[in-house]
Structure formats: structure tokens, C-alpha cells
Structure 1
Amino acid sequence: MFISPMLLHKTEQPFDSDDYITELKLDGIRLLYSVDLQGKVRLYTRHKNEVTSKFPELVALNSIPPGTVLDGELIVTNEEGKPDFEAVMSRFQSKRSHYCISYVVFDVLLHRGESTVSIPLLKRKELLAEIVETDTEILSKSQFVEGNGAAFFELTKAQLLEGIVLKKKDSKYEIGKRSHSWLKCINYQYADVLVTGYRKNEFGWLLSDYSGKPLGIMELGVSEHERKRGYQAKRLQESTDFVFIEPFETKVKFREYTKAGLLRLPSLA
């Protein structure tokens, strides 16, 4: 059974409030884990793509009771115990990948065949603790604290983690909606870079560092006004797909450096 997941709004600043809980934002793939009343397991991405066959180790758990739908994040951890997005994508794309996955659950949407989406969040957390009694390497519950968003965010910055999620304690699960009851605060990294060109057919700025090392393509957060800056720059040469220009400086924010040294999801700061 697929239930369209509740999505998060952004907040630029973490905050402290006794009305909220704070969770670590895990850098992975959103996954819905469904067990029907006959005990058949189905796994879905947030876009309703069934991916059951990709993760036989989750299907074989046999610990989730019939009539359950769980919401969580599929991750792979690196040697430091931190989520590794490139690794989880490798595992997602091929069962032959050697990476071991973990499913970290943060909500329950169906329990014993009954919908729980109208129950306050903290009550759903209690039900989740009954379903996942013992955390293991492959299946665990997302840990949370009450309030303390600012301090928690500082810890994520110190550990170079993705960020935090702030959720209202009494929030219902709003199916398929992006809700202000759940807020994500991303631990962005920042860099001064050069724009060295742009893509011809679909918008994208070519980025490099000051030594000329390519940093990837920026597609996000560039207004029509800002785009003109690139189009009006002096053209140096062009290829089939790109126009190369006289470089100009800009500041970007991004999630992290990839293993290839590129910026992940860069946008204008």
C-alpha cells in the first residue's frame, strides 16, 4: 500500500521551541515500507516507484507486522558512521553494489490495518517504538530530542552532517502535502567560485575554482536577472553543448563535495 509522503518546508535558521521535536536529517532516499494484511512487503520511493526487488534484505526482515506502513530514510553509512549519499545511490542503482543499507524509520502511517495519520506525532512515535522494539544495523528508529533545535544544528555543523528536521509534537501526518509543521534546516557549505560558461539548451552555469578545476554545473537558485549576467559576458569559445565565457565571480551554497570533487546541488548563496 502506497501512501504519498508528507514533505518538509525549509527554515533558514534553527530554533528552540518546546512545541517541536528535533531529528537529524539523514542524507539518503525516502522510503515507504508497506506490509499488507497478508504479510506481503512492498517498498516505494516518495514518487510511488516500487523498489521492492532492489532490497531483498528489507523484505526478509519478517519483524514488521501485517497491516503496517512505515516512513523513513534509506541510508548507507561510511567508515565514520555518517550517511553517504553517493554510496546509497550506488546501492539503489544496483543490487550488485557491495554497500550495506540501513532503513531508519521516523513515522508510522498504518498500524494493524488502521490509519494513524490523524494521531499526534508523539503518539505515532510511541506506536513506532512498539513496532521497532530493538534497533539493528539494518532497521532502526530515528532518534529525537524535544526542542534544542539550535544546539542540535550546531552539532550537525561540527560533524559536517546534512542538517536537522524540526517537527511539531502534535502534528498530524499530512498525506502528500508540504507542511509547515515539519521544517528542514540544511547545513549548507559555502564557496566563492568562478562561472566559466553556460549550457546552451537547458540552463546551467559551468563552475570552477580559481585554479580552473571544474566544480560542476549549477542549475538552482539563479534568477532570470542573474542569468543575464552570464549571457552578457564576453564569449571566448563554444562547443556543441556549451558557451565558454570570460569568468566572473559568484558565491554559492551547496550540500557537500562529491567524491569526484564536484559541488553537490550548488545554488546562488
Structure 2
Amino acid sequence: MRFLDLAATSAAVAATTGRRAKVELLADALRALDLSEVSVGSGYLAGELRQRQTGVGWASLRDLPPPAAEPTLTVTAVDAAIDEIAAVHGPGSQARRRHLLAALLGAATADEQRLLVDLFRGELRQGAQAGLLADAVAKAAEVPVTAVRRALLLAGDLRAVALAARTGGAAALAGFGLRVGRPLAPMLAQSAPSVDAALQATGVPAVVDVKLDGIRIQVHRSGDDVAVFTRSLDEITARLPGVVAAVRALPVRDVVLDGEAIGLDTAGRPLPFPQTSSRAARRATTAATGVTSASGAADVAPLAEATALTPYFFDLLHLDGDDLIDLPGRQRWARLADVVDGSLLVGRAEVEDPEQAGAVFAAAIDAGQEGVVVKSPDAPYDAGRRGTAWVKVKPRHTLDLVVLAVEWGSGRREGWLSNLHLGARDPRTGEFVMLGKTFKGLTDDLLRWQTERFLGLAVERGDWVVRVRPEQVVEIAFDGVLASTRYPGGVALRFARVLRYRDDKSAAEADTIDTVRALHAGRPTD
């Protein structure tokens, strides 16, 4: 396929607002790819380069050569050129890389250059999110979309799934399974304003888990090798030696666990989240121990590590060769209790009515925890999705929103970026809908950090407002949702204030405008 045709598809998808039309455009392009191009081409449509690290930075893309008058590039040729760029290393590598990059961009037309620059920068914003691409792969290969989505969640690799769908259909997709050592997208929880509303979603009987204010962890063990991943699937094994030691001590061979890691004070009460997050950010060093795992991660005894976090687990996804994600929750949790000591399990109670659930919620808050998660005991582990089987309840309204712009401060905050413009994700368009502004809850440290952060994300710098790429997620607490004629979504947040920045979440995982409107209407979110 000509690279120009892929660039044209990308531009057309970006200019189209309807979901169905986007899927049709993407499916047509996927069908047109030769089998040898499917893996690379599907990645390009998703905004991903096969070569994760290319050495090409922003400065290299600032001054582009004149575009070619006629298209000559193919998808395969572009991939080979990027391969060559990514392979450059050693003395003189910068000059060699610049030369190869200039040759590639010089051979590209203006439309092709735009796509290449977006791919190198990781900024392809055409509204072709993972859900749309899953639908497009299913349509192009004529396979059930549920089969594509499941394979995508388990494989974590759109390119491999797209190729399997084209070459082997549904049978090939069924071959994707959970693989110990490769993280999968975690099951997520909806929000509800009360335990009564949560039980309406899950039904009764239900299980109520204490919601810890820690960092979400997914832990994989194969033999003595242990790997710890965050909610966003980043590996942080070396930073959590206590978690590694705890899981290595379990009486199992292979296991995949879902849970939280949290810092505790001397009385055993949870530390504030910033302290837990700070501990997780500190890298353990091999200087503290002579043991290193096969993956190269340092293993530090938890008692000797001053920054240790304690793991608490609430789900079991794999055990000694058996994938458990399709089993009902009560079966997974029973097997979890068989292999993990009760001291490392999240507090859990089975309830029959709102009164019982309310008592668990009150006890969790009294213990300094964040809230509860109400769960259906009959539901499978729905990886990567936010369904009605898990519903979280906190004692305050919170949303994870995206910063769209920031205003320069005045008075004591002069010289710092202060007032945040907050947006919720529109799941139909992939764009963001502004809900209001806030400068509440910002400490001096946060002001310093966000000034540097948002100047780095700036796309337009004005005397008063700096507009930024919509990438940074921030957790916002608020007292309610009001009708508003000022903002395009028709709603605004009441008394919004910053709780924390969520570096563990991408903008695609931010809360939606539908969730905000549901809160305004006084109904459970879905």
C-alpha cells in the first residue's frame, strides 16, 4: 500500500465525527493492506510505531525539508526506513540519524510528512481510539468484535491481533490467552454516589471490598521471577521490593494477582496517597542487597527498605497454568484465599442489603481508607472494561479530568501557571468538553511542578492563557454538578478542587461527559 493512502485515511478519520463512519474508513484501509503490511499499517492507524524507541526527538522535527511533489513511499518502505533510524547508535549517531530522517521526510509529500511527524512525536490525534480500531479490525476480517476485543485485552498488541484476525480469523483470535509476565488491562470500577446506588447496579448478594488509597498493582510470578506493573501497565518491579518478596514467598509456581500497594504508618493506618506515591517513585538499588532477579530488578528485603509499601490483593487472574478471568468472582476469590495469607488480602464482606453495605463503608472510612468497591460475586474478570460488576463509592464526588489549558497566576502566584481548565472526555468524538476552572487545592510544590509540566505540553502560549496538549489527568473533588450555559457540555462542577495528579492514567481513561451528566441527573453512572 502507498503510505499516502494511509495518510489520507488518517486525515479522513480526523475530519469525521461519526463513529460508524470512522470505523468504515479504518476497515477499508485495513482490508487494503497486504498481509505483510497489516502489522505495521494497523499500528500506524493507531498512532504507534513498531519501533518503540527511535531516537527522534522534538528538536529533530522542528525544521522539515521541503515535501516531495509526488508520492513514492510505501508502508513497507517507511517501516524499513524507521528501522534503520532506530538502529543507529555509537559515535556519530546523531548526525547519521538526522541524515536518515531528512531522507525519509524529504521523500514524503506534505500529507505524508504530517502523518510521519505525528507518529514520531506520538501525537496522532484522529479520534481512532482502541475501541474504534477493534471494531475496524473485526469488520475488515469479518470476525466478531467481541473476539477482537478479548484478544486485544489479553495480547496488549493491536498489531498482532490485527494480523491474527486477517490471517486466521476467529480461531486465531481465540488462541490469545493470558501470559504470565505480560500485563493485561485491569478491570475497572464505575462510580456511584452511595452504597445503595452501587447495590442497584450490582444486585444482591454482593461483596464489598475496602478501597485502599494506594497504587494499583498487577503482580506476575513465574518460578522465582516476579514482575510488578502499574495500572497503566508500566513495570515498577525494582521500586517495590516488599511486594516482590511477599509474592515470591507464596506457595505457588505461577500466579497473576491484582491488588494495591500502600504505605502504612507505625499504627498500621494508611499514609496519605502522596506519600505512598512518593515511596513507589523511589527506585531500590542493588547496593542494599546482593540479589538481582532474572529480569534485572533489584530485590531488597522489605524490613531493610525504609520506603517499603505493603501489598494487599483482591483478585486472582492466573494460578499454576490455569487462567481464571472467565470464572465468577466468588470462585476466583476462594482460590485467592487459598494461596494468599489473610494479612495480605483486602478487607472484604458479603452483604445482603444496603444497611450491611453501609456499615462496611462507614468502617472503611473510620479506618482512614478511601471508600469501598461493591462487586457482583457472579461476574467474570472483565479485563480493561468499566462495567456494572464493580462499583466504587467514596465519601465525596471525584472525577479524573484532563487539563486543557492553564492561566498564569497573579499576586502571590505571579509567574506560576495556576488556574486549570478542566475537560471531560467525549466518548463519541474522542475530544474533551470543558467543565470549568479551578486553582483550589494547589500547594506551592504543585504550582512549581505544574508550571514546568504544562509549559512542556504547551501548544499555544498567550499572555494570560497557555493552551496545552490534552494529556495530563488530574483528580478533582467537587460538591456537585450544576447546569451551565457557559460551558459547551451544559454542565459545570461546583467548588472544584485539585486532589492529585494522576500520572498512572492516560487521557483516554479520563471520566466522560456522560458520567458528569449522569451525576447532574442524580443517577448512577454507567
1:43 aligns with 2:228: yes
1:5 aligns with 2:186: yes
1:253 aligns with 2:483: no
After the TM superposition, which of the residue ranges 79-88 and 142-151 deviates more from structure 2? 79-88
Larger Rg: 2
What is the distance in 1 between the residues matched to 2:462 and 2:234?
32
When the two chains are superposed, the root-mean-square deviation of aligned CA atoms in Å is 3.6
In structure 2, the residue matched to 1:174 is 382
Q: How many pairs does the alignment contain?
A: 225
What is the distance in 1 between the residues matched to 2:187 and 2:383?
5
2:347 partner letter: Q
- 1:76 alignment partner, one of 263, 269, 274: 263
Q: Once the two structures are superposed, what CA deviation does each residue of 1:154-189 show, in whole Å capped at 9, x if it has no partner?
A: 334455531110000111001111121001112227
SS in 2 for 1:183: strand
CA contact (8 A) 1:220 1:265 kept: no
Q: Once the two structures are superposed, what CA deviation does each residue of 1:218-268 show, in whole Å capped at 9, x if it has no partner?
A: 5546764746xxxxxxxxxxxx87749xxxxxxx628xxxxxxx8414999
In structure 2, the residue matched to 1:34 is 220
SS in 1 for 2:384: coil
- 2:348 alignment partner, one of 126, 144, 147: 144
- 2:242 alignment partner, one of 32, 42, 57: 57
Question: Structure 1 residue 98: deviation in Å?
Answer: 3.3
CA contact (8 A) 2:422 2:435 kept: no
SS in 1 for 2:499: coil
- Report the CA distance shift for 1:19/1:224 in structure 2 as closer, same or farther (over 3 A): same
TM-score (norm 2): 0.38
TM-score (norm 1): 0.70
Q: Once the two structures are superposed, what CA deviation does each residue of 1:10-65 show, in whole Å capped at 9, x if it has no partner?
A: 112212553211111111111011012x4311111122211111122332333232
Higher relative contact order (CA 8 A, sep 6+): 1
What is the distance in 2 between the residues matched to 1:263 and 1:102?
26
1:253 partner letter: F
CA contact (8 A) 2:208 2:374 kept: yes
Please state which structure has a larger fraction of its residues in strand: 1
What is the distance in 1 between the residues matched to 2:244 and 2:365?
35
Alignment of 1:111-150 (within 5 A): 111-135=319-343, 140-147=344-351, 148-150=356-358
What is the distance in 2 between the residues matched to 1:242 and 1:152?
51
CA contact (8 A) 1:157 1:163 kept: yes
- Report the CA distance shift for 1:206/1:263 in structure 2 as closer, same or farther (over 3 A): farther
1:91 partner letter: R
- Report the CA distance shift for 1:166/1:43 in structure 2 as closer, same or farther (over 3 A): same
What is the distance in 1 between the residues matched to 2:499 and 2:245?
34
Unaligned runs of 5+ in 2: 1-180, 285-304, 425-432, 438-460, 466-476, 480-496, 502-510, 521-526
1:175 partner letter: A
Please state which structure has a larger fraction of its residues in helix: 2
In structure 1, the residue matched to 2:120 is none
In structure 1, the residue matched to 2:276 is 88
Question: Structure 1 residue 113: deviation in Å?
Answer: 1.5
